[in-house]
């Protein structure tokens, strides 16, 4: 890896990212010695600009960053360091230095999951379709998932891709409602899938 240390007095910015959730946890700086130590020890080490020395993240708190991998940007002067964090990353006790929770995000699906959860929690005054399903209970929700699954199978055997995708979206949507009714989230299903990795 040809890192360009010349642009910033021997230092390069190191963006720290959780290898599983892909959340950005913090930003630090590394010099050549810090990069070598990180790779050798498998613990992320920075160069502290205030202390003017190397420091391994978590050397006092125990909240280390276990090194997974490293990528160099297109200008060869910024690192993306992927890690498995042990404990909170920020010295103030939060998961990230931006005070975000370090949880897996599925983009639009996570937003949709939040909407479904809000409709579930406010079902009494909500007149939406989702709230009406929660009001009807587990039998109706499970029945809808079953109906949508059958429709996906039927459309899979035909050649209409639009209908297949429409039914797939309906199935996923109703399955997310069922998960919420049962008290689970997409992350719970992902955890099960990850546990099956070989």
Tokens at residue 151, please? 């429709």
Residue 103 is predicted with a pLDDT of 87
Compute mean pLDDT per 10 residues along the chain, 198 residues long, and list them. 92 96 96 98 97 95 97 97 96 94 90 95 87 95 98 95 97 98 94 87
**What is the SS3 assignment for 150?**
helix
Residues 59 and 91: their CA atoms lie apart, in Å, by: 12
Residue 78 is predicted with a pLDDT of 97
Question: The domain at 11-85 falls in which architecture?
Answer: Roll (3.10)
Residue 172 is predicted with a pLDDT of 98
* Inter-CA distances, 22 with 52, 63, 84, 125, 166, Å: 30, 18, 10, 37, 29
- Tell me the helices (H) and strands (E) count for the chain, helix number first: 6, 6
**What is the SS3 assignment for 140?**
helix
Residue 1 is predicted with a pLDDT of 84
Angle between helices 108-121 and 161-181 (to 10 degrees): 50
Sorted by where each begins, the domain ranges of the chain are 11-85, 108-196
Residues 83 and 140: their CA atoms lie apart, in Å, by: 43
State the burial class of residue 187 (Cβ atoms within 10 Å of its Cβ: 0-12, 13-18, 19+).
Answer: middle
Q: The whole model's pTM is what? A: 0.72
* Strand runs labelled E in the chain: 12-18, 24-30, 45-48, 53-56, 65-72, 79-85
Contact 29, 47 (CB under 8 A): yes
Residue 177 is predicted with a pLDDT of 98
Residue 104 is predicted with a pLDDT of 84
- Kindly compute the dihedral angle of the four CA atoms of residues 125, 127, 129, 133, in this order, to the nearest 10 degrees: 40
CATH of 108-196, one of 1.20.1250.20, 3.80.30.20, 1.20.1740.10, 1.10.287.1080: 1.10.287.1080
β-strand pairing of 24-30 with 65-72: unpaired
């Amino acid at each position: 890896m040809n890192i360009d240390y010349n642009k910033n007095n021997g230092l390069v910015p190191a963006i720290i990212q959780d290898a599983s959730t892909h959340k950005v946890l913090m930003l630090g700086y590394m010099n050549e010695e810090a990069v070598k130590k990180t790779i050798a020890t498998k613990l992320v080490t920075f160069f502290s600009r205030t202390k003017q020395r190397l420091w391994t993240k978590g050397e006092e708190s125990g909240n280390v960053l276990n090194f997974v991998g490293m990528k160099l940007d297109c200008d060869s002067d910024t690192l993306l360091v992927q890690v498995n964090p042990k404990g909170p990353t920020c010295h103030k006790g939060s998961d990230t230095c931006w005070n975000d929770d370090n949880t897996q995000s599925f983009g639009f699906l996570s937003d949709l999951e939040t909407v479904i959860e809000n409709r579930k929690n406010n079902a009494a005054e909500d007149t939406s379709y989702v709230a009406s399903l929660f009001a009807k209970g587990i039998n109706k929700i499970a029945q809808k998932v079953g109906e949508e699954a059958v429709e996906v199978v039927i459309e899979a055997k035909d050649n209409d891709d639009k209908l297949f995708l429409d039914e797939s979206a309906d199935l996923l949507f109703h399955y997310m409602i069922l998960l919420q009714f049962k008290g689970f989230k997409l992350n719970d299903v992902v955890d099960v899938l990850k546990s099956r990795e070989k």
